[in-house]
Amino acid sequence: MVNLSAITRDIKFLLTVAFAVLGWLLTFIGLCVIESDAGGISGLWFHLFFVFFTIVAVITSVVTGSVLNYRTCLVALLAISFVYISDDLNVTLHETNPILPHKLRDGVRLTSAGLFFLSFAILPWIIFFGSSEEAAVNTLVNREGTLRLPSFRNVNGGQPAGNQSGPAPYAVDSTTNLSGATAVNGGNRESKLPAMPVGGIVAAGAGAQNQKAVALFPYEANPEDPSELSFVKGDQFDIVNNQGKWWQVRKSDGTVGIAPSNYLQLQ
C-alpha cells in the first residue's frame, strides 16, 4: 500500500526529497552539457544513476512503510552514494578553470551545484535512517508535535514487528468502532465502544470521569480506520471511555478517538 502522506506530512523529509530531486536533475543537466562539449562518456554517469537508484529506494521504502525491513540496506546505499557525491564534487570543483570553454565551464558549475544539493539530502538521510526513532534528530518539533520519520512505522497503522518504540497494540475483532461502522482490514477493537453521537461525546466508562492519561510510546493510527488517533510519547489525553482494551480519549486540541490502552498511563 502506497501512503504519500508519509512524505508530505514530515517537513524535514519533504525538504530532503526536494533537495535530492533538484540536485539530481541539476547534475544530470550539467553532465549532459559537459558531454555535449567535451565528448566521451564520463564515469560520473555511473555514480549519478547509482544515486538515482538510491533515491528511488528511499522514497519507495518510505511510502510503502517498509523502512524497518530495508533500513540497513538503505544506510549502506546512502553511504556509498555520499562517497560518490563527495568524490565527484572534488573533481568538478577542480575543473572550474577560467581557461575552459564557456559552455564546458557552465556545465561543470551546474554539475557542482547539483552535487551540493544531493549532499544536502543524502547526508541527512544517513543520519535519519541510521538513528533510532527516539534519537534527537528524529524528534524535532513540527505542527504534529514531534517530527518523526513516519516510515519507521507500518503504513497500515500500529507498530511493525521489531519496532522497540512500544508494545504491539491489542488485537482486533469485528465489533463496532467509534464511528459505528465496520472497519476495513480485520474489523475494529476488542473493546466495543458505543457510536459517537453527532455533536456529542459518549458517556464516560466507570471511573473514567475527569481522568487523564499520558502516552508512554508513540503510535501511528491506521489510515483506514478514522476512529484511531495518532500520538507521540508524552501526549496528554482526557479519558472519555476506559472500558475495554481500546480507550476513547480526547486530545488537547479536542479531537476524540480511540487508542490502545497499553500505550497509555493513567495520571
More confident residue, 41 or 9: 9
pLDDT tens digits, 110-169: 999 999 999 999 999 999 888 876 677 766 644 443 344 444 444 344 444 334 455 666
Q: Of the spans 96-105, 121-130, 192-201, which averages the highest pLDDT?
A: 121-130
CA distances from 157 to 79, 112, 230, 237 (A): 30, 41, 9, 20
Does pLDDT of 67 surpass 50? yes
pLDDT at 140: 60
Q: Is the pLDDT of residue 84 over 60?
A: yes
Classify residue 164 by burial, with Cβ atoms within 10 Å: 0-12, 13-18, 19+. exposed
- Look over the chain and give the mean of its residue pLDDT values, rounded to a whole number: 74
Predicted confidence at residue 168, as pLDDT, reads: 61
Q: Specify burial of residue 141 (Cβ count, 10 A radius: 0-12, 13-18, 19+).
A: exposed
Contacting residues for 140 by C-beta, under 8 A, at least 6 apart: 12, 146, 147
For helices 44-63 and 102-130, the axis angle rounded to 10 degrees is: 40
Strand partners, 237: 213, 251
Domains, the chain, in order of start with CATH, read 5-138 (no CATH), 156-267 (2.30.30.40)
